[in-house]
Chains A and B, each alone.
Chain A
């Protein structure tokens, strides 16, 4: 039973994802106005030759802060998982 449900979900998912190749064409994006702005003004506004960096650290700098925070979360989480427990530290009885 479970297998059939999983299979059905996959068929639906693959079918819905297939709408992506139908609608998008590789190499000719549909709308480009925001990125044209970056390429045209990014170099002068941020004084960086690398437009990707100017997007990453200037126009979308807050995302980059968020992504550093995600890495920080991962590091703190891994540290929390591999910590040494105190002598006799018990959390549960069951």
Chain B
């Protein structure tokens, strides 16, 4: 009875659990820090369990539709409404479920990491409240099937992130980074709202499925598409709009930086959802596909070239994050460019999209891991400047191992997960356009070179006198990093299983617009 209710309401509970935990967190935090930590970890474990439960449901029996406030969760279309959903509908298909798994795994490891890492700081109950709200924002963004609801969750995500980026208020630079991030993301969100208003004015609907089924691709729709791509591209840190990324990523606490990676991927999910589900074949797929490919290639090249001269380890990793976002855009963009052509899609389009989508989950894992190791190093030695580090491999062996795993994964070295997704991208993109594939490989080599340098300057060399008594990172931090590292290795060892069971349904769900529409509107 209770399990039935939980399964039936899992899409709502996925957002409700972090929200309720966040609302109560200021109270709980007054009792004692230990109780608060248990509360936050418990809420996160429950959320992760709910995400896995829901994902199991989605991957076994197809898209889950949850209608808020209807007489039954599946009743998205009221019988007397003439076939239109009037309420807010959560539409969880394979792609959403994949993003929820990413959010759940990363969120859980980050929270384990932060209960050790931030013990000596003030304002922690606000910190965890905002952290839980960030989780709720990500989960809501990837689950919702309603454009305005998407905007609301986007704002929840940006406001909580902005507060957390400025967490280190004793330094002006952190506040400055937060201002930069927040001004840009507010404008981005407002631009998205203009696009939503345009859709509303044209079709009198806010549900993605309804708008998709009525899409005419008029002049207004083209304007809305441009606005959406620009705003969501900015939120995910693609290159012409990337300038907030290094500042925000380097100034936020490391655990928040790892979460910001997931947040930017939720925006990437939004971009894919708009392009594939909202427009699909009505748009000129080749043109828009090439726009996304160009964004991706620019991100790859500019990101990696900016990364190489950086002295601040987190700033360097932030530029690498931009560069890796380029791979996802490239893979999915190639899939979009051949969307209308079934034979090309079968030949390499699906593989390219699967590579791009696989890279999303891989990137969240290894980049989160790298930022967490950077945070552990900062926690122990108090600097992020590469020139002042050295010889830490003697004292922080586990951190070093985790860093090596993350660095090899980001550089695309087998047997780690970055290799699996990059190989899919190289192969399929080569059939589409060899030059793009070669650029991607060169960028990967540069990434490896950059991380070899970083590894050498942090861990190698003689034991420095000022770091002689540096200890290993505390155990909860290592557990948090260990979860991510284990996922990185597992995905790298068994890419076939992951691709078959998680990635391929997600790619199919993106391409198959008709299934999405009929899931909401009941085959209408």
* Contact surface of A with B, Cβ cutoff 8 Å: 16-17, 19-20, 22-24, 29-35, 37-38, 41, 58-63, 65-67, 69-70, 72-74, 76-81, 83-86, 89-94
Are B226 and A16 in contact, CB atoms less than 8 angstroms apart? yes
Please determine whether B156 and A33 come into contact, CB atoms closer than 8 angstroms.
Answer: no
Interface residue from A17, A65, A91 paired with B171 (Cβ < 8 Å): A91
Known: A19-B219, A19-B220, A37-B82. A77 touches B160 (CB 8 A): yes
Q: Is the CB–CB distance between A73 and B88 below 8 Å? A: no
The answer to whether B122 and A60 have CB atoms under 8 Å apart is: no
Q: Are B149 and A63 in contact (CB under 8 A)?
A: yes
Is B130 a contact partner of A34 (Cβ separation < 8 A)?
no
Q: Name the B residues within 8 Å of A77 (CB-CB).
A: 126, 130, 159-160, 162-163
Q: Which one, B123, B159, B194, B223, contacts A70 given CB within 8 A?
A: B159
**In the complex with contacts A30-B201, A34-B84, A66-B68 CB distance below 8 A:** no
- A58-B69, A91-B171 given. 15 additional CB < 8 A pairs? A17-B194, A24-B201, A30-B201, A30-B204, A35-B204, A37-B80, A38-B86, A63-B148, A63-B149, A66-B153, A69-B19, A69-B136, A76-B130, A85-B170, A94-B171
The 3 closest A-B pairs by CB, nearest first: A77-B163, A31-B204, A66-B152
Would A76 and B163 count as touching, CB distance under 8 A?
yes
Contacts of A81 in B (CB 8 A): 163, 166, 169, 175
Number of chain B residues whose Cβ lies closer than 8 Å to a Cβ of chain A: 60
Closest to A88 in B: B120
Find out whether the CB atom of B133 lies under 8 angstroms from the CB atom of A85: no
The answer to whether B341 has its CB under 8 Å from any CB of chain A is: no
- Is B217 interfacial (CB 8 A cutoff)? no
A74-B127 in contact given A37-B86, A85-B122 (Cβ < 8 Å): no
| CB of B155 closer than 8 Å to a CB of A | yes
Which residues does chain A contribute within 8 Å of B156, judged by CB atoms? 66, 69-70, 73
Residues of chain B at the chain A interface (Cβ within 8 Å): 19, 22-23, 26, 68-69, 78, 80-82, 84, 86-88, 120-123, 126-127, 129-130, 133, 136, 140, 148-149, 152-153, 155-156, 159-160, 162-164, 166-171, 174-175, 194, 198, 201-205, 218-220, 223, 226-227, 382-383, 385
Whole-angstrom CA separation of A87 from B227 in the bound complex:
47
List residues of chain A with CB within 8 A of the CB of B123: 79-80, 83
Q: How far is the CB of B205 from chain A (nearest CB, A)?
A: 6
Contact B153 A80 (CB under 8 A): no
Q: How far apart sit A16 and B88, CA to CA, in the bound complex (Å)? A: 29
- Residues in A with CB closer than 8 Å to B23 are 72
Q: Which residues of B contact A16 (CB under 8 A)?
A: 223, 226-227
Residue numbers in B under 8 Å from A74 (CB-CB) = 159
Contact A23 to B219, CB < 8 A, known contacts A29-B204, A77-B160? yes
Which one, A31, A76, A86, contacts B203 given CB within 8 A? Answer: A31
- In whole angstroms, what is the CA distance A84 to B130 when docked? 18
CB distance from A32 to the nearest CB of B (A): 6
How far is B53's CA from A44's CA once the two chains are assembled, in angstroms? 37
A-B contact pairs, 24 of them (CB 8 A): A17-B223, A23-B218, A30-B201, A30-B204, A35-B204, A37-B80, A38-B86, A62-B88, A63-B149, A66-B152, A69-B156, A70-B155, A73-B133, A76-B133, A77-B126, A77-B160, A79-B126, A80-B123, A81-B166, A83-B126, A84-B122, A89-B122, A91-B168, A91-B170
Q: How far is the CA of A62 from the CA of B133 in the complex (A)?
A: 15
Chain A residues near B174: list those with CB within 8 A.
Answer: 91
Closest B residue, CB atoms, query A31: B204
Q: Which of B140, B152, B218, B219 has the most CB of A within 10 A?
A: B152
Chain B residues with Cβ below 8 Å from A62 are: 68-69, 88, 149
Please give me the residue from chain A that is nearest to B169 by CB atom: A81
B140: A residues at CB distance < 8 A: 66
User: B130 to chain A: which residues have CB within 8 Å?
Assistant: 73, 76-77, 80
A76:B126 contact, CB within 8 angstroms: yes
A70-B156, A73-B156 known; A92-B126 Cβ under 8 A: no
Whether A29 lies near B166 (C-beta < 8 A) is: no
- Of A23, A76, A81, the most chain B CB neighbours within 10 A belong to A76
Q: Complex formed: what's the CA distance from A30 to B416 in Å?
A: 53
**Complex CA distance for A32 and B200, rounded to whole angstroms:** 10
Do the beta carbons of B84 and A37 come within 8 Å of each other?
yes
Q: By the criterion CB–CB under 8 Å, are B149 and A66 in contact?
A: yes
A92's partner among B22, B148, B152, B171 (CB-CB below 8 A) is B171
Decide: A63 near B382, CB < 8 A? Known: A31-B203, A35-B204.
no
